[in-house]
């Protein structure tokens, strides 16, 4: 056994970079947020080895659980640079719950995972406050999570986020691509901005090529660039469930990585295609700024960013007016985006991708 120097200080977990006491303080600071983001089915509070949820199966004829896991990508780099951490949790919730509602599932609960270089209880509390607010907006419970220090792997002040959400839907009420029919209408729900996709390209263009300061005022935004890049992702969960309750909506498409065309194509059955009219909306100024400063081609913009459309509902023609009225009452910007057709009826692709079944035609006004 090797001999040790008696004068050598004793090694501790804290000296290695992990502060257990800070972790315990952080957990105590998170309790108020978890208590606000709850549902009647939640049993107990945070601090246990597992979150407990007493699902009310009797409400359903044949309950189906839906699960989704996601993160927020390199948008966290902007939050860290701005030292503003109370909205990034909203993005995390949105990316998870808005995937769940695509099939008609009601979000039940969410669990988060936060990895940090060095645990700062105040920073983690700010992050979780946003997660809790997002859960409240989505109507789901924050059932628990994990915060882990990774010294040597991540820098002090650095962190990354992910979360898993679980929802439920009756099998007979599930929304599926096979329900879509020719003549169905694509209804757009406006995004709040960049949401949480394409930030590697956005940061490359705006911060590296254009060298714009995050704290610099941008006339088109009426606030700083950093504030624009941190606008939280819109959470559509309750809006989609309201549409599902009052119309015969076929399905939804959550517009995230891959852009509008690719995500709409994911909810079309074989043999059907769709045409989207660019002339039906004007993308927000942030998209024009990225395209102009980076000389980004339109196909690259459209497969990277949501371009102003965060969610698409596929609606039978007779239900369009009712769906628009529901969204208007809920203060969600919405409009008719396009239409579903049989595949042979669609020609003249303008997506930059050969064989794409979702085609964007025309030009955006004032873009």
Q: What is the domain partition of the chain in residue ranges? A: 20-47+60-171, 177-361
**In the predicted model, is pLDDT for residue 106 greater than 60?**
yes
Q: Which residues pair with 168 in a beta bridge?
A: 65, 106
Once rounded to an integer, what is the mean pLDDT over residues 290-298?
97
Q: How far apart are CA 306 and CA 190, in angstroms?
A: 9
- Going by pLDDT thresholds of 50, 70 and 90, the confidence category of residue 22 is low
Query: Are 96 and 141 in contact, with CB atoms under 8 Å apart?
Result: no
Tokens standing for residue 233: 């992702």
**In the predicted model, is pLDDT for residue 141 greater than 70?**
yes
What is the model's pLDDT at position 111? 96
Helix (H) or strand (E) holding 329: helix 320-329
Residue 212, helix vs strand vs coil: coil
Matching CATH topology for 20-47+60-171 and 177-361? no
Tens of pLDDT along 148-200? 999 888 898 899 999 999 999 999 999 999 999 999 999 999 999 999 999 99
This prediction has a pTM of: 0.90
Determine the longest span between alpha carbons in the chain, in angstroms: 83
Tens of pLDDT along 249-278? 999 999 998 999 999 999 999 999 999 999
Domain 20-47+60-171 indexed as CATH 3.90.550.10: no
Once rounded to an integer, what is the mean pLDDT over residues 272-286?
97
Between 1.10.4160.10, 3.30.70.100, 3.90.650.10, 3.55.40.20, what CATH number should domain 177-361 receive? 3.90.650.10
């Amino acid at each position: 056994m090797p001999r040790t120097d008696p004068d050598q200080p004793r090694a501790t977990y804290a000296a290695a970079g992990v502060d257990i006491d800070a972790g315990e303080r952080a957990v105590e600071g998170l309790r108020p947020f978890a208590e606000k983001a709850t549902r009647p089915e939640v049993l107990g509070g945070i601090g246990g080895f597992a979150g407990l949820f007493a699902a009310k199966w009797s409400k359903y004829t044949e309950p189906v659980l839906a699960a989704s896991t996601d993160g927020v990508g390199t948008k966290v780099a902007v939050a860290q640079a701005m030292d503003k951490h109370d909205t990034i949790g909203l993005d995390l919730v949105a990316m998870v719950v808005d995937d769940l509602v695509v099939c008609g599932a009601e979000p039940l609960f969410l669990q988060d995972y936060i990895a940090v270089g060095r645990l700062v209880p105040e920073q983690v509390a700010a992050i979780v406050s946003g997660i809790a607010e997002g859960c409240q907006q989505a109507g789901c419970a924050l059932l628990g999570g994990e915060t882990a220090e990774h010294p040597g792997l991540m820098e002090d002040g650095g962190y990354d986020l992910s979360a898993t959400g679980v929802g439920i839907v009756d099998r007979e009420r599930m929304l599926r691509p096979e329900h879509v029919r020719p003549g169905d209408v694509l209804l757009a729900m406006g995004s709040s901005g960049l949401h949480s996709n394409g930030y590697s390209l956005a940061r490359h263009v705006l911060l590296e090529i254009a060298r714009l300061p995050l704290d610099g005022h941008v006339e088109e935004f009426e606030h700083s660039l950093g504030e624009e890049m941190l606008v939280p992702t819109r959470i559509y969960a309750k809006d989609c469930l309201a549409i599902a309750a009052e119309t015969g909506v076929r399905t939804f498409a959550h517009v995230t990585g891959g852009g509008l065309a690719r995500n709409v194509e994911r909810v079309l059955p074989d043999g059907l295609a769709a045409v989207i009219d660019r002339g039906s909306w004007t993308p927000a100024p942030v998209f024009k700024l990225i395209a102009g400063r980076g000389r980004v081609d339109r196909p690259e913009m459209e497969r990277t960013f949501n371009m102003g459309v965060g969610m698409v509902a596929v609606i039978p023609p007779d239900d369009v007016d009712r769906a628009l009225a529901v969204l208007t009452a809920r203060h969600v910007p919405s409009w008719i985006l396009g239409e579903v057709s049989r595949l042979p009826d669609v020609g003249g692709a303008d997506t930059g991708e050969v064989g794409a079944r979702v085609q964007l035609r025309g030009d955006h006004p004032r873009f």
